């Protein structure tokens, strides 16, 4: 190509050339993205399954398999039943197929943003047997201790969650108390310096447990065996 | 002063090293400050962000350089943005496939690589005018320079703010972490300290150079 031809061509690029170039680049882009999406989709789905199972088996110690149920209104339905829409709960079973506990999700506003947790309910002791923070944006070094502080996590090894005589709620509401002031098994001992985040955990567990644990106790037979 | 070559450059060691030192995207050009401040609270996050950005830099540079004669000037920015966004989306899925923990830690900042001005800057100022080889060498230098800068911040912030490096305990339990280092203000403190250090080093080198020249003049 001579330099004269370039000088003459340079100012006018035909609209068609612009459309063609942008069009081809967009097509190529679409092709690449869809290709990678399809390739990574099963891997990502598997990662998500592993992540949720790891969390479930952590809050229900001793469990090795799970079955999902959905709480619809005041009933529990297997997750695969048609049209079931509601809160998902995870029944977790030991190697011999016996129910070890049920993993439940709860959420509430923390200091910075909404905190989401998964917690385990053990029907045998009628208590909360584990808690794991799934998502939070609490301040590092202060509020984020709710996920790691060993003293705080000990609250959730056997946190009383008995259903009241009427079977409509908890006998004793779960509450967070100031650090060092815990006297009852249904109280959560707050982390000093992170009382706001600790209270959020208490509030979300109480709200979720008041609603779901009576349902679980009532429909325990449905959950009892892994098959 | 960043060089913006308009002619095709011969690949030299300088093509590569420029991004590391003379034109370091963070410490010299002050580009891409959003990820620099946001995801350098740990070495792991800094490394992942640096590598992800380097990949996008290289992949988008490759396409821009190969297509440089075909992309009309009038639509070049639109074309570059689409190309960059494509590779950022690919990185996004890839990181999700590698580790969900890492993906959650990096949050929205993976998607925000699209608007990292280092990448569009390289596409516009370099890849659109240079051969593939030079583009790759230069992009790799810039990517490593960026990653190096992120690691400089990440290491200091994780060490002081958490007492660890790459998650491994460094200080004894007696050490009271300076929590502020992990928080956003800590990012500004540490960045400021590094900029000061680099400015001082550069100044000292220039003074040495001047003195040497002076000495040689006198010596003659
Ligand atoms: C910058 C900043 C961030 C904070 N982040 C949290 C937090 O994430 N969670 C929390 O519970 N308290 C946080 N606090 C402290 C609360 O304001 C409050 O002082 C504390 O929860 C009270 O705990 P105490 O009664 O045990 O002293 C933060 C305070 C400041 C100044």
Give the model's pLDDT for residue B219.
Answer: 52
Contact present, B56 and B140 (Cβ < 8 Å):
no
On the CB side of A198, CA atoms within 13 Å amount to: 25
State how far the Cα of A224 lies from the Cα of A94, in Å rounded to an integer: 11
Q: Which 3 state secondary structure label does DSSP give B109?
A: helix
Tell me whether residue B122 is in a domain: yes
How many distinct structural domains can be found in chain B?
Answer: 1
Give the model's pLDDT for residue B166.
Answer: 87
Give the model's pLDDT for residue A14.
Answer: 86
Task: Work out the widest C-alpha separation in chain B, in whole angstroms.
Answer: 66
Task: Give me A140's structure tokens.
Answer: 């590092």
Tell me whether residue B22 is in a domain: yes
Give the model's pLDDT for residue A174.
Answer: 96
Tell me whether residue B219 is in a domain: no
Q: Does the C-beta of A200 come closer than 6 Å to ligand 1?
A: no
Using a CB-CB cut-off of 8 Å, the residues of chain B touching A142 are: 179
If you compute the radius of gyration of chain A from its CA atoms, what whole number of angstroms results?
26
Tell me whether residue B111 is in a domain: yes
Task: Give me A211's structure tokens.
Answer: 């609603």
Tell me whether residue B146 is in a domain: yes
Of A21, A29, A43, the CB nearest to B86: A29
State how far the Cα of A216 lies from the Cα of A209, in Å rounded to an integer: 10
Tell me whether residue B7 is in a domain: no
Give the model's pLDDT for residue B20.
Answer: 86
Of A137, A193, A198, A202, best ligand 1 pocket probe by most atoms within 8 Å of the beta carbon: A193
> What is the domain range of residue B146?
13-157
Q: Which residues of chain A have pLDDT under 50?
A: 1-7, 9
What are the C-alpha distances in Å from A153 to residues A59, A128, A146, A148, B111? 11, 11, 7, 7, 34
Tell me whether residue B47 is in a domain: yes
State how far the Cα of B162 lies from the Cα of A144, in Å rounded to an integer: 12
Instruction: Pick the residue from chain B with its C-alpha nearest to A139.
Output: B183
CA A206 – ligand 1 centroid, Å: 22
Task: Give me A143's structure tokens.
Answer: 């509020």
Task: Write down the ipTM of this complex.
Answer: 0.81
Task: Work out the widest C-alpha separation in chain A, in whole angstroms.
Answer: 95
- pLDDT tens for each residue of B91-113: 999 999 999 888 888 877 888 89
Q: Which 3 state secondary structure label does DSSP give B140?
A: helix
Tell me whether residue B168 is in a domain: no
Q: Which residues of chain B have pLDDT under 70?
A: 1-6, 216-220
State how far the Cα of A154 lies from the Cα of A160, in Å rounded to an integer: 13
Contact present, B96 and B88 (Cβ < 8 Å):
no
Using a CB-CB cut-off of 8 Å, the residues of chain B touching A26 are: 82
Contact present, A72 and A85 (Cβ < 8 Å):
yes
């Amino acid at each position: 190509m001579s330099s004269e031809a370039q000088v003459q061509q340079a100012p006018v690029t035909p609209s068609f050339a612009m459309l063609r170039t942008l069009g081809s680049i967009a097509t190529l882009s679409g092709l690449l993205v869809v290709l990678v999406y399809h390739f990574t989709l099963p891997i990502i789905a598997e990662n998500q399954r592993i992540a949720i199972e790891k969390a479930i088996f952590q809050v229900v110690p001793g469990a090795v398999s799970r079955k999902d149920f959905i709480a619809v209104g005041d009933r529990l339905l297997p997750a695969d039943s048609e049209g079931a829409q509601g809160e998902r709960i995870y029944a977790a079973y030991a190697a011999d197929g016996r129910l070890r506990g049920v993993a439940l999700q709860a959420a509430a506003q923390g200091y910075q943003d909404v905190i989401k947790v998964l917690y385990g309910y053990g029907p045998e002791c009628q208590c909360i047997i584990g808690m794991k923070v799934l998502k939070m944006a609490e301040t590092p070094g202060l509020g984020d201790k709710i996920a790691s502080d060993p003293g705080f996590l000990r609250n959730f090894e056997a946190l009383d969650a008995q259903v009241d005589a009427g079977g409509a709620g908890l006998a004793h509401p779960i509450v967070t108390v100031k650090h060092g002031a815990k006297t009852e098994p249904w109280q959560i001992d707050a982390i000093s310096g992170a009382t706001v985040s600790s209270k959020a955990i208490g509030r979300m567990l109480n709200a979720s447990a008041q609603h779901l644990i009576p349902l679980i106790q009532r429909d325990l037979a449905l959950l009892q065996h892994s098959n | 002063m960043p060089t913006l070559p308009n002619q095709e450059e011969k690949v030299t060691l300088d093509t590569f090293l420029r991004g590391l030192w003379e034109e370091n995207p963070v410490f010299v050009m002050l580009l891409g400050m959003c990820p620099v401040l946001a995801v350098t609270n740990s070495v792991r996050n800094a490394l992942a962000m640096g590598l992800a950005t380097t990949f996008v830099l290289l992949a988008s540079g490759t396409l821009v350089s190969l297509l440089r004669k075909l992309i009309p000037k009038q639509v070049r920015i639109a074309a570059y943005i689409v190309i960059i966004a494509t590779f950022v989306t690919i990185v996004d899925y890839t990181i999700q496939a590698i580790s969900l923990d890492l993906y959650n830690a990096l949050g929205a900042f993976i998607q925000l690589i699209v608007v990292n001005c280092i990448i569009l800057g390289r596409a516009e100022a370099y890849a659109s005018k240079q051969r593939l080889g030079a583009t790759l060498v230069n992009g790799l230098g810039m990517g490593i320079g960026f990653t190096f800068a992120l690691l400089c911040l990440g290491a200091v912030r994780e060490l002081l703010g958490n007492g660890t490096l790459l998650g491994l305990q460094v200080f004894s339990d007696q050490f009271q972490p300076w929590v502020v280092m992990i928080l956003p203000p800590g990012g500004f403190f540490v960045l400021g300290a590094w900029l000061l250090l680099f400015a001082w080093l550069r100044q000292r080198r220039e003074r040495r150079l001047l003195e040497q020249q002076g000495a040689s003049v006198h010596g003659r």
